Amino acid sequence: MLRNLLALRQIAQRTISTASRRQFENKVPEKQKLFQEDNGIPVHLKGGVADALLYRATMMLTVGGTAYAMYQLAVASFPKKQD
């Protein structure tokens, strides 16, 4: 059993290490131009729709979490009445 696992590990390593890598185009200069433009948009929103959605989701979670924390503090500050 152990011998089979060792053989499988060797095969997996060989397959991964000898596979040809996919080449990607360097997009850094394009992104640098985009983020260096002086168009009045904050840098955290210059990435487009995805950045705007992430920003709004983060703000909603922040405001919601703060409201929930305040609510829990208010509930915890008033002890339940014993009958």
**Domain residue spans of the chain:** 48-77
Q: Within the chain, where are the H helices?
A: 2-18, 28-36, 49-77
How far is the C-alpha of 76 from the C-alpha of 69, rounded, in Å? 10
- Check pLDDT > 70 for residue 16: no
Any residues with CB less than 8 A from the CB of 1 and at least 6 apart, and which?
Answer: none
Predicted pLDDT at 17: 52
Q: Which residue has the tokens 């959605």?
A: 53
pTM, entire model:
0.59
Q: What is the mean pLDDT of residues 20-34?
A: 86
For all residues of the chain together, what is the average pLDDT? 86
- Check pLDDT > 60 for residue 12: yes
- Check pLDDT > 90 for residue 62: yes
Q: Which of 7-16, 42-51, 70-79 has the lowest mean pLDDT?
A: 7-16
Side chain identity at 30, as an amino acid letter? E
